[in-house]
Structure 1
Amino acid sequence: MLAISSPSTPDDPGSIVLISSQTGEAIRRLTNEVRPYVDNRPVFSPDGKSIAYLRNSSISASEIYIVSVSGGTPKAITADRRSITGLTWTADSRELIFSANLGGVGGLWRIPAQGGTPEHIPVNGKNPTSPVISRQGDRLAYTDRYTDSQFYLYEGPGFAGRPVPGKFGGRKLLDFSSTREDTSPQFSPDGERLVFTSQRTGSEEVWICRSDGSQLKRLTDFDGRAAGSPRWSPDGRWIAFDSRAAGSPDIYIISAEGGKPRQLTTDSHYDSKPNWSNDGKYIYFASNRSDPSSTKTEIWKMPVEGGPAVQLTHSGALEGFESPDGKLFYFSKNRGVYGLWSVTVEGTDEKPVPELKQAGYWRSWGLLKEGIYYVSKEPGERQTIRFFSFVTRKVTPLLMVEKDALYWEPGLTLSQNGRQLIYSQIDHIFNDLLLEEGFR
């Protein structure tokens, strides 16, 4: 028999199914989850009686479950809502080994198959993932992997409509001293500071610094639960961000000087990717609250001081920005859908922006009072940062970049005066296969 993850209905993104290794036909469906949950990465226990698997509610939240091969009710083994990147059984089928960040500590962990408190396993790798144990149980193999993405600061063109000169359109002025992912940068309204997300401590947290990289300060500390997507308030005093600190993703607000964050959304919906209205009175955010059983999100709007949320979009939306005049809201759709759309702030007249069919590359775009800047990639050329003018309705290439952007996180910000541009690009992706002898 083989165990695979396969959908049973359009509303089932993935359930665990036993199939015949000879015919490929389904023998038994062991789980039947509906969106937004995905059951995946099934692993047979060595005694052949059980299957351990991951149940994902998002990219950064997983739990380990075990189900009998003969069927029955699956049992939750963990309840931490953390990102789990691999699991395996010990040779005696009594424990599970998995890779995750728990309590701010990343690495390999062991937990009894009946559940309990995870125990950290010290190994030589710095970022161990995807563990596998030999049949004899005395060898542990795993991948040591991490992505090194850096912020590159370029001299911007202003808005004279001229491309930036140079080999790749600019020269690198700033290279943050981190060997982990730095993403989601945004200049403060006055251009003096930068807020961003970093994994430099082993888990995603919100950081702040001067625009030259000095005076680096960590703003959030959620004990390993991810925090990200930070956005400045129009007056530069506050930062909105999303986090799983309370379990499901929620929107938080924190002072730019630090302190205790305030939780804005408090329900069990998937609320993420906040942004501010121009007057600083409202927060826009993506949420699945219109259909909690789906992973599809729409843009919602909520008062900063709290109150009922109002739905703005109705055909799918991921993230967006309010226009300078406060009349429109520009937004991108879910991953894999190119283009940008606009809708009135009252939630009417939703339509695509015809000049921006190549924009919306994941989350690498933004809005200033003069127009919209974004990353695009035409066939046969490097990724290029382009600018769309609200006045002329024309698109101008600003900067051809040397290396690709992170496609799963935002990595582009332009100062309000257009004179500085920060771009997060992948410098290195490291993968090593390590083996620990004498494992117990």
Structure 2
Amino acid sequence: MPGEAANGVIRFGIFDVDLRAGQLRRNGLKVRLQEQPFQVLSMLLERPGEVVTREDLHGRLWPADTFVDFDHGLNAAVKRLRDALGDSAENPRFVETLARRGYRFLAPVEFPSVETSPAQRPVAPNTAISSASKSRWRLVAAGLMIVLLALGFGLHVGMRASRALQPVLPKEIRLTANSPDAPVYFGAISPDGRYLAYIDPRGAFLREIATDESHALSLPEGFRVHHVSWYPDGSHLLAEAVAESEEHSGLWNIPLLGGAPRKLVTEGEAGSVSPDGKQLAFLRGDKFNHSEIWLTSTDGGEPRMAVNVPGFVIGPPAWSPDSQRFVYLKDVYWPGYGTEDVQIEMYELASSKTDLILNDYRLQYGLVWTRDNRILFSRAEEPPNQGESNVWSLKVDTRPGWRWGAPVRLTSGPDWKPVINMSADGKHAVFIRTNIAPAVFVADVDARTREIGKLQRLTMDERQSRPYEWTPDGKSVLYVSDREGTLHIFRQQIGAATPELVAGVQGSPNILRLNPERTEILYLTEAERKSAEAGNGAPSSQNSNVAGHSAANTQPEGEFQSRNLRLMRVPLDGGISQLVLEDSGINNFQCARLPSRECLYSKYTKDALVFYEFDAKSGAKKELLRTSEPEWQYFNWSLSPDGRTLALAKKMRASAEAEIRLVLTRGGRQRVLKVKEWGRLATIDWAADGKSFWASAVRHGETTALINIDLQGHAKSVLQETKPYVGWAIPSQDGKHLAIWEATGGSNAWMLEVPPAW
């Protein structure tokens, strides 16, 4: 870089960087920037337009013998740099994040030459200027004026032409204004664009968009709707729903002009109607490692399986305008294994051929195939904006060969934005804008009645925070949060405004517990990816955003990428982390309290959930038990404070009566508790005295509540919420307090109004 070598100054836009002085200037004024963010900027400017890896930055910022939470430090440095530049990760002008790789400097860079000082400049001779010289300068000035006018006119025309060539993005319009107590779960716009059908905790509603008038759909008592789409005639809804007397979802035809819902398909989910009104596509399959996409006529007749998908299909299939194809979102997932790829795939009915359209691990719920052959989808942003997603568009070239354009972002700003559906004329699309995230609350517990006091919110930010432990004195909660961009462990005292970061934690922890002595924090963090089976050559998701690739799905069913996890320990007050053990597929771990030193962890294998006992210091382990009974993937568990009893309950699947299975860790007969009137226990944790359980439960009728269950199976509701989710409850060691995570935030339906020039 000759300019940098000459005077150490680099210029981009309105900024100058003086590498020798270590200064950043904006329009000549100094901008305050700490040393590490400045070092990041210097490295990026050394290689503008090129990828600077996280490893390279690590080597520059921290010597090899320095112990530091590198991920946290680098993310913080990049955030400070962006703040100084007025840049954003969501819409970068200067610093672009490349997922899992590093960063790239985007703006053009200049290296101004050395300016000569006034003493070095040549002095003009002191002579009179002749009239001929004056005449020549007048001609030069006139010519210069003509050139400037021509340039100005050309610039004006060019700017107008440039604006005309730029894509005109859709306008975002809010459709519902529900409060956080009644978040909109789902919405679908009618084919004529006049009505919005939507679902919230109160039921299903129909809203006239022009007048903002809403009314509840007339449905039988106990009829619970989870998902809706429209028939092309606009007078019927296709609904995924559960009738009062049933346990599993089915597909129903709901007439809007009067009449009772009519069941079309038993055990079907996420249905969509083809544009020609002749077929339904819907999902079946109750396994993590595969889903089935089925087709049937619009009256539910002649059902047949179209695609057996090796992976988990997210959301309903989206039909092509000619009803000859559909696309779907596939997530290759297995309990305890990492998601390597999320893909948009296309299925052609005539040939039964499956083609890959887009491969991006950031893809989120929702697909739409528009009448002008664009595919709308939702994609998550990179850290530190990982709590946000936006709607994107991908142009489809339907000529032989099927080519795809480059993705174009249609929305901006915070929140999650799953895209749902579009009107028949292609002018209006509906998406949900939601900022619902778990927050930590605390409450006092009455030891005699097991009632809890008023909830007090502990975490006041809008990031995701989940509690896992209390400090031994019962005054502070230990929780995992992404409040600083990536996941870290924090400790926050009851009543305190802000938390303390637990120093020395490596990586991004996702679970934490205390050791039996209550002197160290044990936590899980991802180590590295490795093949779940020898010789598995499945591709990585490093090459995201792959559009235009068309290939049949060749991934063998049953092959997945495992997560190799490290169980680490760090002093309760922070310090140096040490490795306890490393294994793949770990999904949970817990330790008893002294005098017991029992610690357990569980891991998913291909065909079983396996439990191991381990030593919290040495990491020595041995298998305790395994289960491969039907739906073993759904087991959640908790270890009693004395380490003698393992309690297991199946989450995510409703049954006539919820059950808790009690297994003795030293052998003996199992016992089963029947929890009457509750169909599903989403979470389960032992109370501090080991005489009852705290559980997040769902009553028949889908009322979510926090309940206390005694050892005879008697349940008592202590907190009932209409919000989307009540998470687990962690008792303090003395049993006087609970730390609860509960969903907070709002969710509403929005509409994209597509301009004619789109």
TM-score, length-scaled by structure 1? 0.59
CA–CA separation in structure 1 for the residues paired with 2:376 and 2:609: 39
Q: Report the equivalent of 1:422.
A: 694
Q: Look up the equivalent residue of 2:327 and give its one-letter code.
A: A
Deviation at 1:46, TM superposition (A): 3.9
Map 1:154-169 to 2 at 5 A.
Answer: none
Q: Report the equivalent of 1:300.
A: 567
Distance 1:80 1:92, change over 3 A: same
Q: Report the equivalent of 2:342.
A: 14
Map 1:379-394 to 2 at 5 A.
Answer: 382-390=657-665, 393-394=668-669
Deviation at 1:309, TM superposition (A): 5.5
Q: Look up the equivalent residue of 2:695 and give its one-letter code.
A: Y
Distance 1:66 1:263, change over 3 A: farther
Contact 2:480-2:509 within 8 A present in 1 as well: yes
CA–CA separation in structure 1 for the residues paired with 2:404 and 2:459: 43
Q: Report the equivalent of 1:288.
A: 526
Contact 1:253-1:262 within 8 A present in 2 as well: yes
2:243 pairs with 1:5: no
Contact 1:50-1:67 within 8 A present in 2 as well: yes
Map 1:35-434 to 2 at 5 A.
Answer: 37-38=362-363, 41-55=366-380, 63-64=389-390, 65-69=392-396, 70-75=403-408, 83-89=416-422, 97-102=430-435, 203-211=437-445, 212-223=451-462, 225-264=463-502, 270-291=508-529, 296=563, 298-303=565-570, 304=572, 305-308=574-577, 310=579, 312-324=581-593, 327-334=597-604, 337-346=608-617, 348-354=619-625, 362-376=635-649, 382-390=657-665, 393-397=668-672, 400-407=675-682, 410=683, 412-427=684-699, 428-429=701-702
Aligned residues: 330
Q: Look up the equivalent residue of 1:332 and give its one-letter code.
A: S
CA–CA separation in structure 1 for the residues paired with 2:359 and 2:565: 26
Distance 1:288 1:87, change over 3 A: farther
Per-residue CA distance 1:94-147 (angstroms, 9 max, x = gap): 775422423xxxxxxxxxxxxxxxxxxxxxxxxxxxxxxxxxxxxxxxxxxxxx
Quick check: 66-75 or 77-86, which moved more? 77-86
CA–CA separation in structure 1 for the residues paired with 2:615 and 2:505: 26
Distance 1:384 1:39, change over 3 A: closer
Per-residue CA distance 1:203-261 (angstroms, 9 max, x = gap): 421111111211321111222x3322432223312212223333444333222343312
Distance 1:270 1:81, change over 3 A: farther
Contact 2:381-2:389 within 8 A present in 1 as well: yes
Contact 2:657-2:674 within 8 A present in 1 as well: no
SS of equivalent residue, structure 2 residue 609: coil
Per-residue CA distance 1:180-207 (angstroms, 9 max, x = gap): xxxxxxxxxxxxxxxxxxxxxx542111
Deviation at 1:314, TM superposition (A): 0.7
CA–CA separation in structure 1 for the residues paired with 2:411 and 2:581: 36
SS of equivalent residue, structure 1 residue 312: strand
Q: Look up the equivalent residue of 1:340 and give its one-letter code.
A: F
CA–CA separation in structure 1 for the residues paired with 2:331 and 2:686: 42
Q: Look up the equivalent residue of 1:333 and give its one-letter code.
A: K
CA–CA separation in structure 2 for the residues paired with 1:282 and 1:320: 14
Quick check: 254-263 or 396-405, which moved more? 396-405
Per-residue CA distance 1:403-433 (angstroms, 9 max, x = gap): 13343xx2x23333233433332023289xx
Contact 2:517-2:593 within 8 A present in 1 as well: no
Distance 1:228 1:348, change over 3 A: closer
CA–CA separation in structure 2 for the residues paired with 1:259 and 1:8: 41
CA–CA separation in structure 1 for the residues paired with 2:485 and 2:648: 33
Deviation at 1:276, TM superposition (A): 1.7
Q: Report the equivalent of 1:23.
A: 351
Q: Look up the equivalent residue of 2:461 and give its one-letter code.
A: F
Alignment RMSD (CA, Å): 4.6
CA–CA separation in structure 1 for the residues paired with 2:613 and 2:678: 30
SS of equivalent residue, structure 1 residue 274: strand
Q: Look up the equivalent residue of 1:416 and give its one-letter code.
A: A
CA–CA separation in structure 2 for the residues paired with 1:86 and 1:56: 15
Deviation at 1:282, TM superposition (A): 2.6
Per-residue CA distance 1:314-340 (angstroms, 9 max, x = gap): 132112112445755312235995343
CA–CA separation in structure 2 for the residues paired with 1:283 and 1:376: 26
Structure with the larger RCO, 1 or 2 (CA within 8 Å, 6+ apart):
1
CA–CA separation in structure 2 for the residues paired with 1:339 and 1:43: 41
Deviation at 1:23, TM superposition (A): 1.9
Deviation at 1:16, TM superposition (A): 1.4
Identity percentage of aligned residues: 13
Distance 1:208 1:7, change over 3 A: closer
Quick check: 246-255 or 290-299, which moved more? 290-299
Distance 1:439 1:296, change over 3 A: closer
CA–CA separation in structure 2 for the residues paired with 1:62 and 1:347: 40
Contact 2:562-2:585 within 8 A present in 1 as well: no
Contact 1:287-1:299 within 8 A present in 2 as well: yes
Unaligned runs of 5+ in 2: 1-319, 321-325, 397-402, 446-450, 531-539, 541-560, 704-721, 723-748, 754-758
CA–CA separation in structure 2 for the residues paired with 1:285 and 1:345: 11
Per-residue CA distance 1:38-87 (angstroms, 9 max, x = gap): 56532123422343244599xx9562343332424434556778555543
Deviation at 1:267, TM superposition (A): 9.3
Q: Look up the equivalent residue of 1:221 and give its one-letter code.
A: M
Distance 1:291 1:439, change over 3 A: closer
Quick check: 235-244 or 6-15, which moved more? 6-15
Which protein has the bigger helix share?
Answer: 2
Deviation at 1:393, TM superposition (A): 5.0
Per-residue CA distance 1:375-402 (angstroms, 9 max, x = gap): 347xx98433344445665544456443
CA–CA separation in structure 1 for the residues paired with 2:433 and 2:504: 25
Contact 1:18-1:30 within 8 A present in 2 as well: yes
Q: Look up the equivalent residue of 1:316 and give its one-letter code.
A: G
Q: Report the equivalent of 1:141.
A: none
CA–CA separation in structure 2 for the residues paired with 1:203 and 1:243: 11
